[in-house]
Chains A and B, each alone.
Chain A
Amino acid sequence: MKRFLAVLLEYENRVNPEPGVPRAPTFGEQAAALERMAQRLGGMLVPVPYVARQGQGVGDDVHSTLEAEKCDGILLFAMEAIRKGSQLDTKRVARLHRDGYEVGLLIEDKLVSSLSELEELLDFLHVINAVRTRDASTSWAEVVAIEHRR
């Protein structure tokens, strides 16, 4: 039976974590949902989950945890668990795949187990990183303001 490390997301805001969502899911709810995902993938969760703080992402220690727990994969509650600041950690995802781990994303309903699936995910992550960087920049705000005045 496959062994998966669950990555729970510690939300910055427990109330209204995103538009239309009144409260963030608890660790218990996240763990239960990830347990079902692990079962669907023919496996189980290792007993102790990893906790990623929103905005800080998954640290280097996750790799030693995966090795120590003899995991086959890692299941993240949400893509937000790999966001560091404004950027999604593409290098982390690539390394997890390179080290041979399946990478699952529960909320986004994605599983990366092949190179083509990794490439597809990385492409999307790069696009979103680029868009977020541009949208937060002062030069973009100036462009929008100029267009607005036209």
Chain B
Amino acid sequence: MTDSQKFLHDFEEFGYCIVPADDRAELDRLRSDVRDVLYDQLKVKSGDVQNDLDHIHRHCGDSAEIDRLRLAVTPIIAEKSMANRRIFAAFHSKLTSLVGQDVLAQRVPNVVLQPPNHPTPTELHRDAPANSPYEIVVWLPLVDCHHSKSLYILNRESTRAALELYRLNPNDAEAFEGLLDARAELVDVPYGSALLFWSALFHGSQVNTESETRVSLNTRYKHLFAPLGMKDPFRYFEILQTTELMRLGLAFQRSEDM
């Protein structure tokens, strides 16, 4: 089995994979841009990129200030840094093998800052069914993420078991907690790699008890003609790339409007 066949096999079996970037230089440039945008907002002089991001909490105040910073930088990182385009480029081979060459991308990737002991981690959730179940989520740490600095995920089988448990015992929070403790996998994702996961998997994060901040981006891709889910496609997605054949087809349809 080749590496790419193994990747596709594992992705289908578990619903997720941790993969290294095809284009590390592109990823490094994106990370450097994100650091610059964050430090510009904070009006703090920057230094080593990894150190700056790991210790950004030293320049921030309380949770409210971190949220304000996150909201301020999110549109800048989306527009100025063209993050969705560059993430796709950095992980091109794996993403195209999953979603194809005609691609819709989330317009504005999410920026997450999870400083040490920040009291509001991401609750357990899954993106689909509100999002399309034909969608791939790219979780891209810009620092080395391990233990509680990372996120946890339930693979396909564990997600199925969690849904079944909830269906049979919707009020048994203790049993659900027990299942999470037994099955949730805290994934170690070093900088330079990304976690690619299916939108229907449960995932979340804990309070980060490490001494460094988690800085990560997450965004979503799907095939241009994949079913939509419930989110407004025009608000959340944009056409990222099309093949020559797709462009001919679209031009043909357009000509009938003009």
Contacts and interface: CB of A to CB of B under 8 A. Distances in A.
B239 A94 contact: no
A51 interface: no
B130 A122 contact: no
Nearest to B249: A126
Nearest to A140: B227
A107 B234 CA distance: 9
Interface in A52-93: 79, 90-91, 93
A127 B231 CA distance: 15
B130 A127 contact: no
B232 A18 contact: yes
A28 interface: no
Nearest to A91: B257
Interface residues of B, number: 21
B239 A127 contact: yes
A108 B80 CA distance: 18
A1 B224 CA distance: 39
B64 interface: no
Contact of B228 (A18, A109, A126, A132): A132
A118 B224 CA distance: 18
Given A90-B257, A131-B227, A123 B234 contact: no
A94 B234 contact: no
A105 B233 CA distance: 14
A130 interface: yes
B254 A126 contact: yes
B234 A124 contact: yes
A128 interface: yes
Interface string B221-250: 000111110111111001100100000001
A128 B234 CA distance: 9
Interface string A106-148: 0111100000000110111011101110110000000000000
A109 B75 CA distance: 12
A79 B238 CA distance: 14
B173 interface: no
A1 to B, nearest CB: 28
A109 B79 CA distance: 13
A105 B231 CA distance: 17
Interface of B: 130, 224-228, 230-235, 238-239, 242, 250-251, 253-254, 257-258
Please list the 7 inter-chain residue pairs (A to B) with the smallest Cβ-Cβ separation, ordered nearest first. A94-B257, A108-B234, A123-B250, A126-B253, A90-B257, A19-B230, A122-B254
